[in-house]
Amino acid sequence: MKAALQLAVEQAFQQAEHAMQEKRSTEAFQWLERTHILTQRHPLLHARSHWLMLILGWQTGDYREVAGQIPRIFAALLFSKIWVPIGNTGRSRVSAFRPMPVPEELQALLADEDPTPSNR
């Protein structure tokens, strides 16, 4: 992982966890969606983003989010190197198979990633 991407991922996880501690769930989910997009090709980090979404769903009483994150954690660990829906935010409210536009500010960070042909 390139240094700029690694730094952005670390900062996003820190911001998400800080917002979670302060019970700012909307902000925490936004940071976790960012981490999800940035880590999709890195199984452990990808799974961590889903794990934190599961915890946040539990904290907020959003059991749809909790239930939706459980299979996503396993899928992240098993399939991140094979196929991911580029740009997907990782939340349970969107299909786990739906590609989504990558926000402009994240495109440059992801440009240096080694794309897998099946990711397109």
For residue 117, pLDDT over 70 is answered with: no
Helix (H, G, I), strand (E, B) or coil at 111: helix
What does the alpha-carbon distance between residue 111 and residue 41 come to, in Å, rounded to a whole number? 13
* 34-89 tens-digit pLDDT: 999 999 999 999 999 999 999 999 999 999 999 999 999 999 999 999 999 999 99
Instruction: Name the average pLDDT for the chain.
Output: 92
Q: What is the pLDDT of residue 82?
A: 92
What does the alpha-carbon distance between residue 17 and residue 19 come to, in Å, rounded to a whole number? 5
Q: What is the pLDDT of residue 65?
A: 97
Query: Quick one: the chain helix, strand, coil %, rounded to 5?
Result: 65, 0, 35
What does the alpha-carbon distance between residue 57 and residue 92 come to, in Å, rounded to a whole number? 10
* 34-47 tens-digit pLDDT: 999 999 999 999 99
Q: What is the pLDDT of residue 1?
A: 80
Higher-confidence residue: 114 or 26? 26
**Phi, psi torsion values for 112, nearest 5 degrees:** -85, -5
